[in-house]
Chains A and B, each alone.
Chain A
C-alpha cells in the first residue's frame, strides 16, 4: 500500500511569505503528526491531528498552524516566514493517536526561507 505522501518535496520561500505543506497519510490511518527537523534543534513535535481536531501541540509560535480534512489528509501552514523556519518538515501517520506501534513517516518537505 502507498506510504505517507508529502508535497511538495522542496520549497523556496521569501521571508515574510506564508507557506502550506500537504500530507496524505497511509490509507486507514486517521492520526497525522507533524515534526520539524533542523540541524540545531533536531526533530521537534509540531502538532497532531485526529478526526479533524488538533489533539496536541508542541512548543511552537502561533505562526505554525495546521488542519485535517475528513479524508485524514492534513496541511500545515506557516505564516510570516522567518529564516529560522528553514527545515525539513516531516509528516507521520498512524491508525489512532493511542497507537504505539510506531509512526510511518513521509519523505518530508524541505523548506528554505531566503
Chain B
C-alpha cells in the first residue's frame, strides 16, 4: 500500500525565518515519483517539484530546496527566508502505477502561516 505522512499539521513562522516541511512516504514500488504542491486559499494546487525514485540529488530553486533520502523514505521541503506569500497549505504526494496510470496519493498537508 502507498502512504504519505505529513506529521506537521500546522506551522507558524515569523517572516524571514527558515522552515522545513516534513514528508515521509511508504511504497513497495521501486519506481515511483514524489511531488510537492502548494494550495493557496484560492484552492488550486500549484505544482512545485517532481522527483523520481532514482534521483536522490537535492534540488534548490530560489528560496525553495528539497531533500530526498531514500534510506529514510523522506522528501522534505525547506523554505529559506520565508515570506507572507508563502502562507498556504503544502502537500506532499506519491505517484504509483495503478491499472496503467499514475494516480497521486497525497499526505494530509501542512498549513504554513508566515507572520509579518
Contact = CB atoms under 8 A, between A and B. Distances in A.
Nearest to A109: B43
B113 interface: no
A50 to B, nearest CB: 7
Contacts of A33: 101, 103
Interface in A95-114: 97-108, 110
A98 B103 CA distance: 10
A56 interface: yes
The B contact surface, by secondary structure, is: strand
B55 interface: no
Contact of A42 (B37, B47, B109): B109
Interface in A32-71: 33, 35, 42-45, 48, 50, 55-56, 58
Contacts, number: 65
B22 to A, nearest CB: 16
B31 to A, nearest CB: 9
Interface string B67-91: 0000000000000000000000001
B26 to A, nearest CB: 16
Interface in B35-83: 35, 37, 42-47, 50, 52
B47 A102 contact: yes
A42 B100 contact: no
B108 A42 contact: yes
Interface of B: 33, 35, 37, 42-47, 50, 52, 91, 93, 95, 98-109
